[in-house]
Amino acid sequence: MLNIVLFGPPGAGKGTQSENIIAKYGLTHLSTGDLFRKHLGEGTSLGKLAKGYMDQGHLVPDEVVIKMVEDKISSTKETKGFIFDGFPRTTAQANALDEMLSGLEMKISGMIALDVPQDILKERIKERGKTSGRADDQDEEKINTRIKVYLAETLPVAEYYEKQGKFQNINGVGKIDEIFGQISKVIDSY
């Protein structure tokens, strides 16, 4: 089984590259942002709870995210593996994921990080905001909050996987297919 954590700041291209990875390797996409947006669209109580955090660019509390991920993993039958996109976003989530997987005799193959400078991230998110309809993509202050939260709470997750010898950094600026070529090389080495 291949279980990959795709890592990077908001706007790094995780969603785009996840699609490429799924098409080539047949993995199951597990994007916590997409799952929350689905709940939001369906008006579930989880969606209502998450909305307040998401709209402000803050993280949804760990226990809520972890429960949602557990449900998704346990309801997925017959898969070649998962691509984790936007999760884990805190070291508490990373610990919970390791525990969850080891209980199922699964493990993370590796983390692939997309490296993109801040000024390019902000441009990409604003551009995406013109069509994404996402409240958190359309306001400079919220974009800045998300990047700040990423630096303070999410960046330590890279170190968590580096300590396990599972971290690979890739330049996330350039042509989409060239970046995907780099990602494929890493995946093929697992």
Q: Is 185 annotated as a binding residue?
A: no
Instruction: Provide the minimum distance between the beta carbon of 10 and ligand ADP in the complex, in angstroms, as a whole number.
Output: 3
DSSP characters over 26-69: -PEEEEHHHHHHHHHHHT-HHHHHHHHHHHHTPPPPHHHHHHHH
For 63, the token pair is 């226990």
Nearest residue to the partner ligand ADP, using Cβ: 33
- Exactly one of 4, 21, 30, 65 binds ligand ADP (CB under 6 A); that residue is 65
Report how far residue 69's alpha carbon sits from residue 84's, in angstroms, rounded to the nearest whole number: 10
For 70, the token pair is 């557990």
86 binds ligand ADP, rule: CB under 6 A: yes
Q: Give yes or no for a contact between 76 and 132, defined as CB atoms under 8 angstroms apart.
A: no
Q: Is 124 annotated as a binding residue?
A: no
- Exactly one of 146, 161, 172, 187 binds ligand ADP (CB under 6 A); that residue is 146
Q: Is 17 annotated as a binding residue?
A: no
The Cα-based distances of 155 to 31, 68, 178 in angstroms read: 18, 22, 25
Catalytic (active-site) positions: 14, 89, 128, 134, 146
Q: Which amino acids are annotated as binding site for AMP, given as ranges? A: 32, 37, 58-60, 86-89, 93, 134, 146
Residues that bind ligand ADP (CB under 6 A): 10-11, 32-33, 36, 53-54, 57-60, 65, 86-87, 89, 93, 136, 146
